[in-house]
Amino acid sequence: MSESTVPATNVAALLWPARAGRTGATRAVLLAIAGACLLTIAAKVQVPGPVPMTLQTLAVMAVGAALGARLAVASVLLYLVQGAAGMPVFANTPPMVPGLAYFFGPTGGFLFGFALAAGIVGAAADRGLIRRPLAFAAVLATAVVALMAAGWIWLALIASVASGNGVGFARAFQVGVQPFLLGEVIKVSIAALSFPLIYRGIGRLIRR
């Protein structure tokens, strides 16, 4: 049985075109694993500044742009499953202990927000918006807003803290969102400038 090639709308599709059948299933598994590995590496890279932060948001956007919606979300879910299983894939593990209980802490909403953001960016890539830098920049900004909103609401209402569940919206914004806004703007700017250029550059190399 012949295998049909799916049109390339994201970076991975340019480098490794998707096909039906066993080849396509193997490709999907390997790319999902690669995406989860990238998220783990990004979690361990600490960017110095007034508020230390990781490169995970940038990695989430990269996974979405590279893999498309389905594989990007699968990569994030695989990453979360690894953490739930006790693997030290999250930013502060160690010293904190990974596992299911970790998700009920202050950062749980941001972790779930990774899947939402990856899906938004991946869906835009699937529709070819990576070829339109301004539109893609707007999508990246929307994805980060959605991610931060998920983390903010979780920290405000659900997160398990010393005082109970949630710290309230004002406090959650003060400690969980505001200190990271400048960093997120920088990450979105880097992604918006680089991802379309990377896509175009790979496309030109392949066509030669």
Which domains, from first to last, does the chain contain? 11-203 (1.10.1760.20)
Closest listed residue to residue 86, CA positions, set 72, 69, 103, 67: 103
Q: Which tens digit of pLDDT belongs to each residue from 5-42?
A: 455 778 888 888 877 667 788 999 999 999 999 999 99
pLDDT digits 0-9 by tens, 37-84:
999 999 999 887 777 789 999 999 999 999 999 999 999 999 999 999
In whole angstroms, what is the distance from residue 172 CA to residue 153 CA?
8
Task: Provide the pLDDT confidence category of residue 4 given band limits of 50, 70 and 90.
Answer: very low
Residues of the chain with pLDDT > 90: what percent? 76
> pLDDT tens for residues 101-125?
999 999 999 999 999 999 999 999 9
pLDDT at residue 20 in the model? 67
What's the rounded Cα separation, in Å, for the pair 25 and 98? 29
For residue range 189-198, what is the model confidence (pLDDT) as tens digits? Answer: 999 999 999 9
pLDDT, tens digit (0-9, with 9 covering 90-100), for 126-182: 999 999 999 999 999 999 999 999 999 999 999 998 888 999 999 999 999 999 999
pLDDT (0 to 100) of residue 21: 67
Q: What is the mean pLDDT of residues 182-203?
A: 94
Chain Cα centroid distance, residue 56: 7
Question: How far apart, in Å, are the Cα atoms of 201 and each of 91, 130, 195, 204?
Answer: 32, 12, 10, 5
Q: Three-class SS of residue 165?
A: strand
- Per-residue confidence (pLDDT) for residue 78, from 0 to 100: 98
Residue 2 in this model has a pLDDT that exceeds 70? no
- 126, 10 Cβ separation under 8 angstroms: yes
pTM of the predicted model, to two decimals? 0.92
Predicted local confidence at residue 1, as pLDDT? 37
Work out the pLDDT band at 3, boundaries 50, 70, 90: very low
Environment class of 186 (CB within 10 Å of its CB; exposed 0-12, middle 13-18, buried 19+): middle
